[in-house]
C-alpha cells in the first residue's frame, strides 16, 4: 500500500467517525461535570475523551445500520460505507472498540457505580436508535435520552445528589438532540428515506419531495416549532435557577442569548420553508442552527461555570467543526453526510 493510499484510508476512517461534530457531542458529559462542580483538568479531559468515544460509537453504528438506505440517494454515493472504501465488518469492530474503551476509561477514572451505569444507559439508548431509528418513528427521543444520560454521567462523577439545575441541563440536551434528529435529520434524508420506505417522523408526517421541490407539511412545522419552544422554555427555566439567576447584572449574556435565539428561529424558518430541496444549502442552515442553539446553552451557564470554561466550551466545538470539516471535505459548513 502506498503512502498516499494510507493517508486516504486514514481520512476515510475519520469521515466514518463524523469527527467534525465529535467535540459538540463530547461537550455533553463535559458540561455535566462542570455544572456539578468538577474543575480537575485531567478528569475533564477524560470526560471529553469518553464523549468522543460515545460519538464514534453512535455515528459509526448509525452508518453501519443505514448503509442500505443511504444507497438510495445519489448524493450519498461517496460515503465511506456506501462506496465500499471501508468494509462494514471494520465499522462494526470500531463500534465495539469505542464502546469498550469508553467503559474502560469510566471504570478506571471514576470508580463509582453511577457513572458507568449512566454511560451504559446512554450506549444502550444510542444503540436502540441506531438499530431501529429508520424502522420505528419517534426514536429520535430515545437518542435524546442517550444524551440526557451521557450528560448526567458527567455530573455523576462529582456527586449522586443532583440539583434541579443538572436535570434541566440534561433535559436541554434531550430536546436539542431530539430536534436535531427528528427535524433536521428528517428533512436532510427525506429523499432517500421515502424511496427506501424508512419510517421517520418526517415521512410519517408526509414530508416529501416532488419534482425537486421540498414539501413540508403543516403538522411537521407545528411539531418543529413546539419542540423548539420547549427548548427555549427550558433555557428560560435554567436562567432563573438560583445558581445562575441571570438578571440585569448579566446584560451581555442576555443580549447574546437573544441574538442567538433570533439566529436559531431565523434558520429554522428558512429550512422549514425551503421551496427547493438542495441538500448542501440545508446542511449549512442546520449547522448554523445547531451552533446557535448550543451557544445559547453555554452562555446561559456562564455565570455558574465561570469565564475560562465558558470560553473553551464556546469556541472548542466551533473551531473543531470548522477545522475538521475543511480538512475532510474542503468546506466550512457542509459535511458530506
State yes or no: pLDDT of 163 exceeds 70: yes
Instruction: Indicate if the pLDDT at residue 3 is higher than 50.
Output: no
Q: Which three cell numbers stand for residue 39?
A: 474543575
List residues bridging with 209 in a β-sheet. Answer: 214
DSSP 66-88: HHHHHTT-GGGTTSTTTTTSS-H
Considering the chain, what percentage of its residues have pLDDT values greater than 70?
94
Q: Grid coordinates in use for 287?
A: 449547522
Q: State the burial class of residue 3 (Cβ atoms within 10 Å of its Cβ: 0-12, 13-18, 19+).
A: exposed
* Banded pLDDT at 294 (limits 50, 70, 90): very high
Domain boundaries, the chain: 8-329
Neighbour count for residue 116 (Cβ, 10 Å)? 17
| Nearest-angstrom CA–CA distance, 87 and 282 | 29
Report the share of the chain in percent with pLDDT over 90: 62
Q: What is the pLDDT of residue 74?
A: 64
- Residue 4: the pLDDT is 46
Task: Give the residue, 101 or 275, on which the prediction is more confident.
Answer: 101
CA-to-CA distance for 239 and 162, rounded, in angstroms? 17
50: its cell numbers: 469518553
Query: According to the model, what pLDDT value does residue 335 have?
Result: 56
Q: How far apart are CA 184 and CA 328, in angstroms?
A: 22
Chain segment 214-254, per-residue pLDDT in tens: 889 999 999 999 999 999 999 999 999 999 988 767 889 99
pLDDT tens-place string over residues 52-100: 999 999 999 998 988 877 776 666 677 788 777 888 899 999 999 999 9
Instruction: Give the three-class secondary structure for 135.
Output: coil
Instruction: For residue 29, give the nearest of 94, 139, 131, 121 by alpha carbon.
Output: 121
Fold of the domain spanning 8-329: Tetracycline Repressor; domain 2 (1.10.357)
Per the listing, cell 426514536 goes with 139
Question: Given this model, what pLDDT does residue 235 score?
Answer: 97
User: Which range has the top average pLDDT, 79-93, 125-139, 164-178, 206-220?
Assistant: 164-178
Average pLDDT over residues 295-320: 93
Q: What is the pLDDT of residue 137?
A: 92
Average pLDDT over all residues of the chain: 90
Query: What average pLDDT does this structure show over 45-56?
Result: 97
Spatial separation of the C-alpha atoms in residues 44 and 38, rounded to whole Å: 7
136-149 pLDDT, tens digit each: 999 999 999 999 99
Cβ-proximal residues to 174 (8 Å cutoff; 6+ apart), any chain: 141, 144, 145, 147, 148
Segment 169-189 mean pLDDT: 94
Average pLDDT over residues 295-309: 94
Band (330; pLDDT cuts 50, 70, 90): confident
CA distance 289 to 180: 9
pLDDT score recorded for residue 332: 62
Amino acid at each position: 500500500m502506498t503512502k498516499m493510499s494510507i493517508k486516504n484510508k486514514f481520512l476515510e476512517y475519520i469521515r466514518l467517525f463524523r469527527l467534525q461534530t465529535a467535540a459538540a457531542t463530547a461537550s455533553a458529559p463535559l458540561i455535566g461535570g462542570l455544572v456539578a462542580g468538577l474543575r480537575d483538568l485531567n478528569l475533564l479531559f477524560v470526560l471529553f475523551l469518553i464523549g468522543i468515544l460515545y460519538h464514534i460509537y453512535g455515528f459509526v453504528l448509525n452508518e453501519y445500520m443505514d448503509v442500505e438506505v443511504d444507497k438510495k440517494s445519489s448524493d450519498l454515493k461517496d460515503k465511506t460505507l456506501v462506496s465500499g472504501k471501508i468494509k462494514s465488518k471494520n465499522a462494526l469492530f470500531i463500534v465495539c472498540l469505542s464502546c469498550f474503551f469508553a467503559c474502560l476509561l469510566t471504570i478506571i477514572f471514576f470508580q463509582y457505580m453511577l457513572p458507568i451505569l449512566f454511560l451504559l444507559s446512554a450506549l444502550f439508548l444510542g444503540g436502540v436508535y441506531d438499530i431501529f431509528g429508520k424502522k420505528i418513528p419517534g426514536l429520535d427521543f430515545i437518542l435524546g435520552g442517550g444524551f440526557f444520560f451521557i450528560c448526567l454521567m458527567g455530573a455523576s462523577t462529582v456527586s449522586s445528589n443532583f440539583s434541579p439545575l443538572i436535570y434541566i441541563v440534561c433535559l436541554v440536551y434531550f430536546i436539542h438532540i431530539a430536534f436535531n434528529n427528528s427535524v433536521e435529520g428528517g428533512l436532510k434524508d427525506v429523499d432517500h428515506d421515502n424511496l427506501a420506505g424508512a419510517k421517520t417522523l418526517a415521512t410519517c408526517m408526509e414530508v416529501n419531495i416532488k419534482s425537486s421541490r421540498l414539501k413540508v407539511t403543516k403538522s411537521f412545522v407545528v411539531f418543529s416549532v413546539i419542540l423548539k419552544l420547549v427548548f427555549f422554555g427550558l433555557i428560560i427555566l435554567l436562567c432563573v435557577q438560583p445558581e445562575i439567576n441571570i438578571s440585569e447584572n448579566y446584560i451581555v449574556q442576555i443580549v447574546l442569548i437573544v441574538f442567538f435565539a433570533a439566529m436559531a428561529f431565523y434558520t429554522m424558518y428558512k429550512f422549514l420553508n425551503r421551496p427547493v430541496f438542495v441538500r448542501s444549502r440545508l446542511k449549512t442552515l442546520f449547522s448554523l442552527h445547531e451552533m446557535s442553539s448550543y451557544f445559547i446553552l453555554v452562555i446561559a451557564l456562564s455565570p455558574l461555570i465561570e469565564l475560562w470554561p465558558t470560553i473553551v466550551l464556546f469556541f472548542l466545538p466551533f473551531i473543531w467543526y470548522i477545522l475538521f470539516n475543511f480538512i475532510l471535505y474542503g468546506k466550512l459548513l457542509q459535511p458530506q453526510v
